[in-house]
């Protein structure tokens, strides 16, 4: 019988010890008799550069809540304050805070909310944000004039990074953003809607496409970019395009040279940049090739 009594005493002791475990992190000077509990949604999420995320925070304390503060840690770096503290005046709180994802920072962001009550006790909760870029980068896009022996196509779709020959382009008219040819303006990229097709350039047959499907891509000349690899976000692409000098006509970028950077905006409104890596063999008999690096909005 004594052994049975001792067994019950041990169970009661264990339950009593477990009930004393606290959820909150007690700060120095905080009261050991109060408990702070905070939750935040979404717990984990994904976002693009510059996105905003609404976090909903619910906090309770056996005392009166005082403040909510926020930090961000980017790719494991030391936490840094972000946003403005929120003043709290009751023992319970539910509120939403808007967090803006930094641009140019692919990887993982740890967003943390810390709740403090008026006794000095705290609790923290974090959400991890997987940040993906808002641009696509394509290196070494090869295009050729309509009779060039390289076999590369002349028609480019920036939405899927595809180069088409004449037959493929005709079947994908709504996808084509620009066409390469060598003409009076030497190495040239032109929108399907440009007036050179059917007048100056006849061989590409673009003039036979459905007129409403000939996209009016526009171009600008860019001089403000010293390093193409520094372009890591849509905002930089957009700023470069807007800050460039519009071509004349706007649907034609001609006299292209190696190292030159031009901006473009598709008819659908997406921004992009092109760097001319190679230009060779061009003549008015249909020869010539271009190699491009392309950055375009997702």
Residue 17 pLDDT greater than 90, yes or no: no
The helices-and-strands tally (H runs, E runs) of the chain is: 3, 21
Tokens at residue 154, please? 């002349």
Is the confidence at residue 31, as pLDDT, over 60? no
153-172 per-position pLDDT tens digit: 999 999 999 999 999 999 99
DSSP labels, 88-110:
--SSEEEEEEEEEPPTT--EEEE
Q: What's the mean pLDDT when you consider all of the chain?
A: 88
Strand intervals (E) in 62-209:
65-74, 80-81, 86-87, 92-100, 107-117, 121-132, 135-144, 155-157, 162-164, 178-183, 186-190
The count of residues in the chain is 298
Q: Residue 116, CB half-sphere, CA atoms under 13 Å: how many? A: 15
Of 2-11, 36-45, 125-134, minimum mean pLDDT range: 2-11
pLDDT at residue 191 above 90?
Answer: yes
> With 50 as the cut, is the pLDDT of residue 4 above it?
no
CATH 2.60.40.770 assigned to 23-132: yes
The predicted structure's pLDDT at residue 211: 86
| pLDDT, average across residues 170-181 | 96
Q: What is the model's pTM? A: 0.69
pLDDT over 90, % of the chain: 76
* Structure confidence at residue 33 as a pLDDT band (50, 70, 90): confident
Q: Is the pLDDT of residue 21 over 90?
A: no
pLDDT at res. 14: 31
Residue 67: pLDDT above 90? yes
Structure confidence at residue 30 as a pLDDT band (50, 70, 90):
low
Does the pLDDT of residue 22 top 60, yes or no? no
- Token pair, residue 191, equals 């929108």
What distance in Å separates the CA atoms of residue 154 and residue 152, rounded to the nearest whole number?
7
Q: Are 254 and 262 in contact (CB under 8 A)?
A: no
pLDDT at 106: 75
pLDDT in tens, 225-274: 989 988 988 889 999 999 999 999 999 999 999 999 999 999 999 999 99
Across 114-124, average pLDDT:
97
Instruction: Determine the pLDDT at residue 29.
Output: 52
Q: How do the domains of the chain map onto residue ranges?
A: 23-132, 135-297
CA dist., res. 290 & res. 152, Å (int): 10
Task: Compute the average pLDDT of residues 81-98.
Answer: 97
201 pLDDT band (50/70/90 cuts)?
A: confident
Q: How many CB atoms lie within 10 A of CB 41?
A: 14
Within 10 angstroms of residue 141's Cβ, the number of other Cβ atoms is 18
- 106 against 187, higher pLDDT: 187
pLDDT band at 99 (very low <50, low <70, confident <90, very high): very high
**With b meaning 16 or more CB within 10 Å and e meaning fewer, what string describes 186-218?**
bbbbbbbbbebbeeebeebebeebeeeebbebb
What's the pLDDT band for 133 if we cut at 50, 70, 90? confident
Q: Is the pLDDT of residue 25 over 50?
A: no
């Amino acid at each position: 019988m004594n052994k049975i009594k001792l067994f019950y005493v041990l169970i009661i002791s264990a339950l009593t010890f477990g009930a004393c475990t606290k959820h909150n992190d007690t700060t120095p000077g905080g009261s050991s008799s109060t408990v702070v509990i905070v939750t935040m949604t979404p717990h984990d999420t994904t976002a693009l550069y510059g996105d905003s995320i609404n976090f909903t925070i619910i906090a309770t304390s056996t005392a009166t809540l005082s403040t909510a503060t926020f930090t961000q840690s980017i790719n494991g770096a030391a936490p840094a304050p972000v946003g403005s503290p929120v003043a709290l005046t009751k023992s319970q709180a539910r509120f939403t805070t808007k967090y803006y994802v930094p641009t140019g920072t692919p990887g993982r962001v740890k967003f943390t909310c810390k709740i403090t009550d008026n006794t000095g006790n705290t609790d923290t909760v974090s959400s991890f944000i997987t940040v993906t870029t808002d641009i696509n980068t394509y290196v070494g896009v090869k295009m050729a004039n309509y009779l060039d022996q390289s076999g590369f196509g002349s028609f480019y779709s920036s939405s899927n990074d595809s180069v088409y020959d004449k037959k493929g382009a005709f079947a994908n008219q709504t996808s084509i953003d620009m066409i390469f040819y060598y003409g009076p303006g030497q190495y040239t990229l032109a929108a399907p809607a440009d007036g050179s097709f059917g007048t100056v350039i006849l061989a590409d047959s673009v003039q036979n496409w459905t007129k409403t499907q000939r996209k009016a891509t526009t171009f600008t000349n860019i001089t403000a970019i010293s390093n193409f690899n520094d372009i890591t976000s849509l905002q930089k692409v957009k700023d470069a395009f807007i800050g460039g000098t519009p071509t004349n006509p706007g649907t034609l970028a001609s006299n292209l040279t190696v190292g030159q950077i031009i901006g473009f905006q598709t008819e659908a409104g997406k921004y992009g940049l092109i760097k001319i890596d190679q230009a060779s063999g061009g003549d008015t008999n249909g020869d010539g090739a271009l190699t491009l690096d392309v950055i375009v909005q997702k």
